Amino acid sequence: RGARVLQNRSELEQELRRPGGLGAAFARHAYGMRRWVDLFAVRIPAIEDPYLTELVSEVVHQNARHMVLFRERAIAHGVDPDLYVCPPEGEVIYERLAPLEGDETLAYALGSLEHFADLLAVYAEAAEDEPDSEVLAAVRADNDRALAKLSERVRGSAVAAAADAHELYRLRELAETPLYAIGR
């Protein structure tokens, strides 16, 4: 995994420092994790490879658990995660994922989790209380394990799907971060 830099890192850091900023980020990811659970869980019955079934099931389980943890942290910051509205730049990520199959799906997931790792590092730096730090550390550890497993499986032409995910998440960050300031 190559070192990438979030294009708007300083703006994101600034938004995370304001009251409710980290809570808004938790709400955003709780929404995204729910979408991933919905999109990946329906694929499990069609997977013939038992090892891949295990991997996808693990990603679904982790996203469901992380969704609950992030919802709780958003609420602790005074942010109602049910009021989160995903910008169009975010929705396109899930729309693009839905029709992908096989190795492309895994590569897209890899790109997504790589981007999430970059965000988690920024969130960990912004965390000011122990519960936030503990949740972020647990999610980072799970994310790192999932990245390692996905990296082992993603090869060849499927890597283009990871690059696609990176670009879509880059665009989402540019659109999403300013929304934290207005409580969305």
The answer to whether residues 73 and 65 touch, using CB atoms and an 8 Å cutoff, is no
Mean model confidence pLDDT for the chain:
89
d(CA 72, CA 89): 25
- Predicted local confidence at residue 101, as pLDDT: 80
The answer to whether residues 118 and 6 touch, using CB atoms and an 8 Å cutoff, is yes
Least confident of 47-51, 91-95, 134-138, 178-182: 178-182
Using pLDDT thresholds of 50, 70 and 90, give the confidence band for residue 1: very low
- Predicted local confidence at residue 3, as pLDDT: 43
The answer to whether residues 88 and 57 touch, using CB atoms and an 8 Å cutoff, is no
DSSP 108-176: HHHHHHHHHHHHHHHHHHH--SHHHHHHHHHHHHHHHHHHHHHHHH--GGGHHHHHHHHHHHHHHHHHH
- Predicted local confidence at residue 183, as pLDDT: 56
The answer to whether residues 182 and 18 touch, using CB atoms and an 8 Å cutoff, is no
d(CA 104, CA 65): 25
The answer to whether residues 136 and 124 touch, using CB atoms and an 8 Å cutoff, is yes
Top pLDDT among 67 and 173 is at: 67
> For the packed helices 102-126 and 21-41, what is the interaxial angle rounded to 10 degrees?
160
* Whether this model's pTM surpasses 0.85: yes
Give the Cα-Cα-Cα angle 59, 10, 19 (nearest 5 degrees): 80
Q: What percent of the chain has pLDDT over 90?
A: 53
CA torsion angle for 155, 160, 164, 165 (degrees, to 10)? 0
